[in-house]
Amino acid sequence: MRAAALAFGAAMVAASVGPAAAQPAGEAMTPEEATAKICSGCHSTQIVMDTPRDYDAWHQTVQDMIDRGAQGTQDDFALVMQFLYENMTTIDVNHADEEDLMTILKTTKPVADAIIARRSKKAFKDIADLENAVPGLDAALLEAKKRMIHFQQ
């Protein structure tokens, strides 16, 4: 569901985008490259990295930047939204859907399903509880994203 929302959101954001230089054929950008290209035109990418937000807040932020003159193609903004979703979006482990768990925590479907099964019996308290209860999670990733991971009861 989030993938469809991501594509739709990027299309809505990009609807107000004016023409921009096209990426040369055969030189597809990564989401990280698109984010650096578009966002660094006005500010450092560190601002993005220092401000994790939920998906809807990122969508609004990107729209605000377009309204202020950010330039890019619809595909560029779709890549920016993909980067923000995968890397800078906050997540409430006790309430997130399977797709968000898989994407934001960069895990597999069986691990996401194990998170959902465990939390249906007992909510997670913190990252240590999550790591101890669910094998297969990347401890280094969880540490790197700890300020984005929440556990609402």
**What are the pLDDT digits (tens) for 73-86?**
999 999 999 999 99
The residue ranges of every structural domain in the chain are 2-18+28-87, 91-150
**What are the pLDDT digits (tens) for 38-60?**
988 888 777 777 788 999 999 99
Helix (H) or strand (E) holding 103, with range, is: helix 98-104
pLDDT at 41: 81
Q: Buried b / exposed e across 54-67, counting CB within 10 Å, b at 16+?
A: ebeebbebbbebbe
Name the stretches of the chain with pLDDT < 50: 1, 4-5, 7-8, 10-23, 25-26
